[in-house]
């Protein structure tokens, strides 16, 4: 298992952003669904070793990220795309990807080839020498994805990766996700259930800091059958039905 999380909580002041999450997953693509404020980004940031949990256990790639040495080793093998990707306006796409390849401590001799491969995989080859300030939002997002995959990570964490991508780019991105998921554990936080249906082998649905469903997209879609839940597609109805059931159970308790 590349990700082993046990009863993890994360508290900011009096608010529990993550309230007792357990999750185990190996290679494949896991879609992390949920409404705004469900705790998806906080959970991803804990898995990206940016913030430690308030309680509970986290093991990533067989290591405990609490220690400096293991955390550094995890980070060498980690790819992360934050929700708000900052960028250096004066960098070219290639320089941006190369910068993070070096910060991931890739062997310098391997970096140029890895950078070219990552840029081509996100189909930005034609703009590799363009300054980031000249790119559209979708291109910047793809540059962010390129830096995340440049080290061929074993654990890839993507927070809203398809935001700003046009439909054609999203289709290409889903294909890339499926390809990456054959070797690595890919966790994608998204609002878009169609991304989950098309690219993910597993889905976890979060609400109020908890995982309220973990299964396959088909199982989630089945949860909405005959429920009368809102939604235009089976997955959307399953999403709505599971959330409604969880919230009504919480209200009754």
Partner 1 sequence: MIFGHDMTGDRTGRPAPVRADLRRDVDLDRVWLGVAAQVWRRRPGLAERLAGRALRSPGLARALVTTPSLLLGWIIASAVVLAAGAFVTLGTSVPFAALLAPAVAAAGIAYAYGPGVDPAWELSQSMAVSDRMVLLVRVLVVFALNAVLGVAASAASGTASAVTFGWLIPMTAVSTLALAVAIVARSANAGVAAGLTAWAITVLSARSAAGHVTAAVTSSALLLPYLLVATACAAVAWFATRLQKGTS
Binding site for partner 1 (CB under 8 A): 9-13, 48-55, 68, 71-73, 75-76, 78, 80, 82, 84-89, 92, 94-95, 98-100, 102-105, 108, 111-113, 115-117, 119-120, 125, 128-129, 147
Q: Which residues of 173-203 are buried (b: 16+ CB within 10 A; e: fewer)?
A: bbebbbebbeebbbbbbbebbebbbbbbbbb
CB of 103 to partner 1, least distance (A): 4
Closest CA to 156 of 29, 52, 37: 29
Return the number of the residue (159 or 195) whose C-beta is nearest partner 1. Answer: 159
Nearer to partner 1, 54 or 169 (CB): 54
C-alpha to C-alpha distance for 196 and 216, rounded to whole angstroms: 10
Give least dist CB 141 to partner 1, A.
13
* Coil vs helix vs strand at 160: coil
Cα 144 from Cα 85, distance rounded (Å): 7
Residue 227 burial (10 A CB sphere; 0-12, 13-18, 19+): middle
The pair of three-digit structure tokens given for residue 235, joined into one six-digit string: 């997955």
Nearer to partner 1, 107 or 167 (CB): 107
Instruction: State the minimum distance, in angstroms, from the CB of residue 200 to partner 1.
Output: 22
* Minimum CB distance to partner 1 smaller for 98 or for 154: 98
Instruction: Select 73 or 152, whichever has its Cβ closest to partner 1.
Output: 73
**What's the min distance (Å) between Cβ of 212 and partner 1?**
23
Q: Which helix (H) or strand (E) holds 43?
A: helix 40-47
Q: Nearest approach, Cβ of 243 to partner 1 (angstroms)?
A: 27
């Amino acid at each position: 298992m590349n990700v082993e999380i046990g009863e993890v909580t994360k508290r900011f002041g009096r608010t529990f952003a993550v309230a007792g999450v357990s999750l185990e997953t190996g290679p494949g693509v896991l879609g992390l669904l949920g409404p705004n404020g469900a705790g998806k980004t906080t959970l991803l940031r804990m898995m990206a070793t940016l913030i430690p949990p308030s309680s509970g256990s986290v093991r990533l790639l067989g290591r405990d990220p609490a220690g400096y040495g293991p955390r550094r080793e995890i980070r060498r093998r980690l790819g992360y795309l934050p929700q708000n990707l900052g960028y250096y306006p004066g960098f070219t796409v290639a320089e941006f990807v190369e910068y993070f390849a070096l910060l991931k401590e890739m062997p310098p001799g391997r970096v140029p080839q890895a950078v070219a491969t990552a840029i081509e995989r996100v189909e930005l080859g034609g703009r590799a020498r363009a300054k980031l300030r000249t790119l559209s939002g979708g291109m910047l997002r793809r540059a962010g994805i390129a830096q995340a995959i440049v080290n061929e990570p074993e654990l890839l964490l993507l927070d809203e990766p398809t935001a700003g991508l046009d439909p054609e780019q999203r289709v290409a991105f889903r294909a890339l996700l499926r390809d990456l998921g054959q070797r690595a554990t890919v966790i994608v936080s998204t609002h878009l259930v169609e991304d989950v249906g098309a690219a993910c082998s597993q889905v976890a649905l979060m609400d109020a800091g908890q995982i309220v469903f973990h299964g396959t997209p088909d199982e989630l879609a089945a949860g909405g059958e005959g429920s009368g839940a809102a939604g235009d597609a089976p997955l959307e109805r399953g999403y709505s039905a599971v959330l409604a059931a969880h919230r009504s159970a919480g209200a009754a308790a």
